[in-house]
């Protein structure tokens, strides 16, 4: 049996958090023993413990923009070196055989590898575009210290390769998978948020940050709403701690839109299937390439047609004019046009069915777990 220590970047329940939970709970416990280390307390910790996964909380720093200044660098270094001893002691305590670092924002695996002299897998969920020095730095560090770099999409791997540091055959693509819900959950949030039963709802789900594209989605939606009286819009998600102003800014834009009675801010919702049941079409409008948006995969699994900017992981997930529409990035007019084309019950249903079948055949949880099990076995 191999004991694997996972170092993660947070403790919430967004994309990479769900991927980690899915991985460690789905592994064959006769072959692998997962030990998950989180930098903070949160919903992910509770979910892991509910599933009897050994979980530790160590306050190690995560690479964020707040550290990109002299004071921040000092605070980061101080926290990093305090945490490395704790992590090494945990690794020794649990007789760790393999280190799995989840996201480029976690650099603690480097010194842990040096201390315990065990192989390192670096699981990359990001396509870093700016600041450029951070892209180059993390590409260099992952190439230098990882025995294998697992990327969540080919687009993610190609972006890392552009930095010029990765070794031949060091990068491997393992697509995220999803456990397809068997039964149909019929409940939704329409009554709770005063959304009419006959409304046609476009939805956006994701972290409210600088690049998830809520503003582009809002602009595209507003172009439709004056012509389609039954169109409603929903947003679900929240901001990082310390960035709550982004939520307030979005709410202000909604209130000043002239259609605030038809635009619904749901905040973060644990019952994600109810969110999908509330909408007719899912829209992904990230203004930077999204490596592999799990929420898009979840929407497809719930038979929702997708309208998405054509870059990053969505270009590999969505089959244009079959499971949804791919749109030139940042083209709000075209985004709005493609959304309008799906205000068609027959097309909505057809795309949704084909999308769900595609997830079943290409992006299943079983395939995802098998690929990681093979990789772990070879390390």
Give the pLDDT score at 183.
66
The domains spanning 2-177+364-378 and 200-362 adopt the same CATH topology: yes
Residues 257-263: contacts with CB within 8 Å, 24+ apart?
A: 257/218, 257/222, 258/222, 259/222, 259/225, 259/233, 262/199, 262/225, 262/231, 262/232, 262/233, 263/218, 263/221, 263/232, 263/233, 263/234, 263/235
pTM (two decimals)? 0.87
> Average pLDDT in the 60-74 region?
88
- Report residue 69's pLDDT band, with 50, 70 and 90 as the boundaries: confident
The pLDDT of residue 218 is above 90: yes
- Where do the domains of the chain lie? 2-177+364-378, 200-362
For 300-358, how does the pLDDT look when each residue is reduced to its tens digit (9 = 90+)? 999 999 999 999 999 999 999 999 999 999 999 999 999 999 999 999 999 999 999 99
- Report residue 184's pLDDT band, with 50, 70 and 90 as the boundaries: low
- Report residue 15's pLDDT band, with 50, 70 and 90 as the boundaries: confident
Q: What is the dihedral of CA 114, 129, 334, 221, to 10 degrees?
A: 70
- Report residue 203's pLDDT band, with 50, 70 and 90 as the boundaries: very high
For 245-285, how does the pLDDT look when each residue is reduced to its tens digit (9 = 90+)? 999 999 999 999 999 999 999 999 989 999 999 999 999 99
Q: How far apart are CA 221 and CA 264, in angstroms?
A: 12
In 3D, which of 205, 132, 123, 138 has the Cα closest to residue 172? 123
- Report residue 14's pLDDT band, with 50, 70 and 90 as the boundaries: confident
The pLDDT of residue 185 is above 80: no
Q: How far apart are CA 195 and CA 234, in angstroms?
A: 10
The proportion of the chain whose per-residue pLDDT surpasses 90, expressed as a percent, equals 89
> Average pLDDT in the 164-188 region?
88
For 95-140, how does the pLDDT look when each residue is reduced to its tens digit (9 = 90+)? 999 999 999 999 999 999 999 999 999 999 999 988 898 999 999 9
Give the pLDDT score at 154.
97
In 3D, which of 215, 209, 206 has the Cα closest to residue 236? 206
The pLDDT of residue 72 is above 70: yes
CATH fold of the domain at 200-362 = Rossmann fold (3.40.50)
The pLDDT of residue 181 is above 90: no
Lowest mean pLDDT among 89-103, 169-183, 188-202, 299-313: 169-183
Give the pLDDT score at 151.
98
Lowest mean pLDDT among 62-66, 87-91, 265-269, 360-364: 62-66
Lowest mean pLDDT among 63-77, 97-111, 159-173: 63-77
- Report residue 64's pLDDT band, with 50, 70 and 90 as the boundaries: confident
Class of domain 2-177+364-378: alpha beta
């Amino acid at each position: 049996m191999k004991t694997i220590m996972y170092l993660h970047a947070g403790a919430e329940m967004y994309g990479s958090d769900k991927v980690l939970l899915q991985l460690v709970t789905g592994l064959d416990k006769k072959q692998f023993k997962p030990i998950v280390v989180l930098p903070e307390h949160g919903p992910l910790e509770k979910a892991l413990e509910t599933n009897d996964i050994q979980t530790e909380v160590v306050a190690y720093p995560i690479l964020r923009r707040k550290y990109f200044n002299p004071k921040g660098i000092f605070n980061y270094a101080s926290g990093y070196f305090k945490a490395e001893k704790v992590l090494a002691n945990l690794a020794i305590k649990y007789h760790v055989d393999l280190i799995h670092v989840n996201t480029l924002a976690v650099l603690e695996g480097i010194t842990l590898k040096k201390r315990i002299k065990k192989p390192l897998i670096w699981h990359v969920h990001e396509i870093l575009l700016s600041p450029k020095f951070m892209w180059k730095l993390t590409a260099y560090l992952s190439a230098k210290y990882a025995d294998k770099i697992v990327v969540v999409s080919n687009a993610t791997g190609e972006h890392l390769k552009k930095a010029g540091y990765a070794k031949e055959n060091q990068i491997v693509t393992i697509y995220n998978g999803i456990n397809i819900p068997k039964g149909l959950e019929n409940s939704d949030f329409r009554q709770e948020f005063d959304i009419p039963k006959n409304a046609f709802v476009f939805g956006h789900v994701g972290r409210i940050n600088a690049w998830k594209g809520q503003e582009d989605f809002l602009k595209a939606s507003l172009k439709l709403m004056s012509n389609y009286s039954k169109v409603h819009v929903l947003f679900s998600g929240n901001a990082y701690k310390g960035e709550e102003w982004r939520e307030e800014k979005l709410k202000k834009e909604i209130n000043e839109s002239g259609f605030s009675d038809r635009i619904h801010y749901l905040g973060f919702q644990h019952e994600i299937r109810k969110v999908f049941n509330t909408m007719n079409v899912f829209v992904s409008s990230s203004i930077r390439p999204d490596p592999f948006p799990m929420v898009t995969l979840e929407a497809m699994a719930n038979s929702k047609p997708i309208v998405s900017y054509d870059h990053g992981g969505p270009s590999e997930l969505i089959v244009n004019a079959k499971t949804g529409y791919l749109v030139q990035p940042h083209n709000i007019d075209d985004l709005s046009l493609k959304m309008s084309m799906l205000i068609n019950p027959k097309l909505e249903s057809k795309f949704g069915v084909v999308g769900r079948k595609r997830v079943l055949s290409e992006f299943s949880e079983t395939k995802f777990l098998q690929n990681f099990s093979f990789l772990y076995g070879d390390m």
